[in-house]
Each structure stands twice: as C-alpha cells, then as structure tokens.
Amino acid sequence: MAITTLGIASGIGDLHQIPIGKACRSIHKPNVPGVHVLSITGIERYNVTIFPGVLLPYPISGLEFCDVEVIISHPGIDDQVRITVWLPLKDWNSRFQATGGGGFATGIFEPMLAKALEAGYAAAATDGGHVLDAVDPSSWALKNDGSVNWELLRNFASRSLHDMAIVGKAVTTDFYSTKPRYSYWNGCSTGGRQGYMIAQKYPNDFDGILANAPAIYWSSLDPSGIWPHIVMHEYNTFPSLCEYEYFVSAALAECDMLDGVQDGVILDPLSCPFEPHSLVGSTITCSNKSISITAVTASIVQKILSGPQSSSGASLWPGPTLGTPLHSLANPKVPFPISANWIRYFVLKQPQFNISSITGPDFAWLFAQSMAEYGWIMDAADPNLSSFCAGGGKLLTWHGTADPLITIANTLRYRERVEAEMGGASAVDKFYRLFLAPGVGHCGDGKGPVPVDALEKLVKWVEEGKEPESLWAETVDGDGNLINRDLCKYPAKLKWTGKGDWKLSESWTCESYETQMAGRLAMGKPTTWEIFHASILKEKFFGFVKGYF
C-alpha cells in the first residue's frame, strides 16, 4: 500500500535481515473473529532513531525492537489494513499501548510508537486501510462511482481500532509468551475521538484510555472549520493574519490579569468580557503599513468568535475561546483543509467543489447534512459509559483552553452529558476525569504549561487505584524560564495565591467549584459554571439541527 508521510522523518537504523533470535520471525498469525489475516512479518531492528515529528518534539535514539507488520482484510470488503506492532527486545514493562491518529489519518505510527517503546511498552498503530494523509482523504473517501466508501469510513471511524487491539495484544502475547498485564490507549485529536469511541463501542479492549483534545462531535466539528472562511467571503473582506493577531493580543491584554498574573494566558476565557468592536478605529502596523481597524473587520472577528450560525441566527457550534490564536482557521487565503475536504468528499461528494462559493444559508444546510448523514458513524458522543465503567476501565482527558481547532466546549459538553446520564460528577469521577490546561493549544502547543505526566497518572489510577487529582504541566517562556503548574481536576480551576513566584506551581492552588460559586455570588457576579451553562451548554448548540431552520 502506498503511504504518504505526515511530516515524519525516521531512521530505521541497523536492519538485520537474519535476526539473531527466531522469535520475531516466527510469530504466528493471530486469530481475529470476522477478519482474514493475509500476512504477518517480523524483523528485528537495532539502533533505530526516530526524529521529531507529529506529537514528538524531540528525537528518540537507540531503539531496539521486533517490528511486526500484520495485513488484514474484512470478508466481502476490498480492503487491506496494516497493523504495525513494535515489541521491545529488552525491558518490556508488561504493558501494551495502542496509539491513535490525527486528522484523516487513522494512525500516526513512528512518533507515537517510539514514545511508547521508549517507556517500555509494546505498542501498535494501524492505517485503517488508508493512505496515511492527515488532511487529504482523496485516495479512499469515494468509490469509483463517486459514492462514499462506507466500509473504509467505518474502518476509520471505529472498526480498525478494535482490530488493532485484538491483533496487537495477540502478537504481543505470542512474542513474549505471556499476556500483557495491562493495556492502554493513547491519542489526541482524532486519536482522542478514537479513545472515546473505544470506551463506548469496545469497552473491554483497554484498561485505561488517555484521550486528549478529542474530536468527539466530528460531524459538527468538521464542517465548522470552514466558518471563518465563509464569514470573510460574506463580508468580502479578508483581514490579514496581523489584524487577527491584534484582536487576540487585545483580548489577552484585557483578560490576562484577571487571575492576578500577567503570563500571556487567559486563565478563565469563558469569563473574559472582551468585545471586538472596542478596537474599531485603532491603528496598527502590519508589514510596514498603517492599518485602521474597521467595523467590518470587528464584525468578522465577532462572528468567528461566536461560532457558526444558521440562516436565522441560531448558534450551531461554539466558536474559539477568547485568547485562542485565530490564524489556523481564519486563514485569509485558504479554508482549513481538513474541514474543506470533509465537505468536498463526504458531504457533497464533489472533490473539485469551490469552498469559497458557500454562503451562510448553504453552510447551514451543509452542517445539518453532515450531522444527519455521518453523526451515527463518526461521532463518539454516546454518554452511556456503563459498560466501560463496569469493566473497571478508566478514561482520562486533558484539553487546552486555547485549542484553535477543537474548542473545549466540545469536551465539556460531553462530560456534562455523561454526568447527567450516569449519576452526577462524583459518580463519573470514579472512572472518567477531565483536566483543562489554560493557554494550551491543540495537543500541546501554545503559551500555557502542557501536561507531561498524564499517561503515568492514568497507569497509577488503573493499576494502583490512585485517583488523579492533578496533572503536572510544564513549559518554557521566551527567556528560557521554566513555568510549571499542577493542573486541577475539572471543574476546579487554578487560583494564584498572591505569594511567591507565579511561574512555579507552589504559588497556585485549586479552587473548587463550590468555592468559585460562593465567591462569585458574594460579589453578585455569575460563576464561570453559570456563564458556561448560559452561553455554551444550551441545547441550541447541540440539539436537533432541523429545529434551527
């Protein structure tokens, strides 16, 4: 199968065609119900280096492992799915880790596998039977007759994840002659959605699931990514990236200090009162040119921040939180490619369709069509996690509050629904915990401290029963200073003590929801929780779309 890269460079190291031991070459074909195992190969690899790539900010060297490739197909379906399993030749920690994908790619492979291997895991990834391209599904989305390739979409949505779990654990067991003591899922973005899908559809596949910045409501989220492009075309005005950055900086200037610390992060973006029209008439310099902020530009920014709307003005999906960079989705030249291709290939089935021709009313129809046609297969939105809970599974998620691609409203909405379904916050906390990372972008970038021990905390929760109350997070500022935090379990939030070095975690505490509410009510102000419920959690954002038009 042809494979395009995801910006990954890897050195395969010393390849031993005739391995020293025969175990790697003699792994048996796994028995997978409802699946044909077409082939299995294993090669020992030594002194492997994996260079920085997607979700891997540093190189990993000196890896030694058995590289197993299993090709499977599903009866009656013309697919060939590749599952890769890396098995450490020494110091295996007796655990198995399956890894997720990004965008339209079912798996990320080398970066995620290398990180798992470095930590001692046997690890697996799958391509779902697709070319591994995160933004372009053209090679597999449609059949020759122009209809959707539903079987390959099913692979991408969920089926290949279960296949990988079965194959990966079987191969691991065969190689080490013992079953993994525990198995884990690790993914972000698409990988986060995959983790939630596993908890809902295959609740017994993993003991612990780490699913960060999850694209839970895929059928709503994906079309929403072109909203900024539509807004700019409707106004026939295309603000520069410099202008967008000015609005983001202004929001930071207004709300950064609400927590008492000027650190380039809006701690609580949902309570930031910034209004884009307050900047009308301001003059800024962009590319050595003086630009005056117009009312039209402010309206564009406001409409982007408000999120997609129907033709009647009803909100369809929440926009980005204040302080979130806008350049990823509000590119004045091209629409966000993942969203544009979702509409071209899946919603319209017209690969050459000009996204720039979509009007506001057109978008409302496309949004409704996406949900109606694909919500059932792509959305990981079932709030009933009773089977996962009953089996002892643990689900841990962190999500950056400045994520420009997947708003935190997506994750908070799902958490709210699970609480309503399964007995409230305390009951849900026993198996599902959420942490918000202020100022962190998509899967780890941004100005805020990024969680670094989430998987370790998940392992201790699963294996020792130690419930995670916080996640350790770190970043380095422009001057090389280390900034760290102990991120709070939702709905608690960080609060500066007013003492000590604000860059260090000991100067911060976690303020409970009850304390937040008491303090806000004493001042006659709404709580963050109340603001959120009033603006984002209303059913109008997530109800039946047909009621909007």
- 204 or 10, greater pLDDT: 204
Strands 394-400 and 208-212, sheet pairing: parallel
Q: CA 46 to CA 52: how far, in whole Å?
A: 19
Is the pLDDT at 9 greater than 50, yes or no? no
Q: Which residue has the higher pLDDT, 17 or 276?
A: 276
pTM for this structure? 0.91
Alpha helix ranges (H) inside 225-283: 227-235, 241-255
Dihedral sign of CA atoms 187, 193, 197, 200 in order: positive
Residue whose tokens read 């419930």:
467
d(CA 470, CA 489): 6
- The band of 514, judged by pLDDT with boundaries at 50, 70 and 90, is low
Residues annotated as catalytic (active site), given as ranges: 189, 403, 442
User: Residue 20: its pLDDT value, please?
Assistant: 39
Confidence of residue 540 (pLDDT cuts 50, 70, 90): very low
Low-confidence winner among 93-97, 123-127, 290-294, 314-318 (lowest mean pLDDT): 314-318
pLDDT (mean) for 245-252: 97
The answer for 76, left when phi > 0, alpha when psi is -120 to 50, beta otherwise, is left
Give pLDDT, residue 548. Answer: 28
Contacts of 505 (CB under 8 A, 6+ apart): 472, 484, 485, 486
Q: pLDDT exceeding 70 applies to what percent of the chain?
A: 89
Structure confidence by residue, pLDDT tens digits, 85-122: 999 999 999 999 999 999 999 998 899 999 999 999 99
Alpha helices (H) in 54-159, listed in sequence order: 110-118, 150-154
- Whether residue 210 contacts residue 186, with contact meaning beta carbons closer than 8 Å, is answered with yes
Q: State pLDDT tens for residues 499-509.
A: 999 999 999 99
pLDDT average, residue stretch 112-136: 96
Cβ atoms within 10 A of the Cβ of 135, count? 16
With contact defined as beta carbons under 8 Å apart, do 195 and 214 qualify?
yes
Report pLDDT for 266. 95
Question: How high is the mean pLDDT of the chain?
Answer: 90
Closest CA to 242 of 291, 279, 280, 282: 291
Instruction: Provide the pairing of β-strand 283-286 with 289-292.
Output: antiparallel
Dihedral of CA 402/407/410/412: which sign? positive
Look at residue 259 in the predicted model and tell me its pLDDT: 92
Please tell me the least confidently modeled range out of 27-31, 125-129, 542-546: 542-546
Residue 185 pLDDT > 60, yes or no? yes
Q: What contacts 52, CB < 8 A, 6 or more positions away?
A: 9, 58, 59, 111
Long-range own/partner contacts, residues 424-428 (CB < 8 A, 24 or more apart): 425/491
Closest-CA residue to 495 (of 476, 481, 515): 515
Q: At 278, is the pLDDT very low, low, confident or very high (cuts 50, 70, 90)?
A: very high
Q: What is the pLDDT of residues 352-408, one digit of tens each?
A: 999 999 999 999 999 999 999 999 999 999 999 999 999 999 999 999 999 999 999
Task: Check pLDDT > 90 for residue 342.
Answer: yes
Per-residue pLDDT averaged across 213-230, rounded? Answer: 97
The pLDDT of residue 98 is: 99
pLDDT at residue 503, as a whole number: 95
520-538 pLDDT, tens digit per residue, is: 444 444 444 344 434 433 3
Q: H helices of 212-323, where?
A: 218-224, 227-235, 241-255, 295-306
% of the chain at pLDDT higher than 90: 82
* pLDDT tens for each residue of 424-434: 999 999 999 99
- CA distances 221 to 57, 289, 374, 442, Å, are 27, 36, 12, 14
The arithmetic mean of pLDDT across residues 412-416, rounded, is 95
Q: For residue 68, what are the β-bridge partners?
A: 42, 85
Question: Tens of pLDDT along 322-331?
Answer: 999 998 899 8
- Res. 539: pLDDT tops 70: no
CA dist., res. 19 & res. 182, Å (int): 28
What is the rounded CA–CA span in Å between residue 126 and residue 122?
14
Evaluate if residue 513 carries a pLDDT over 60.
yes
Res 65 pLDDT > 90: yes
- Which backbone phi and psi does 49 adopt, to 5 degrees? -120, 130
Read off the pLDDT of each residue in 116-144 and give the average, rounded to a whole number.
96
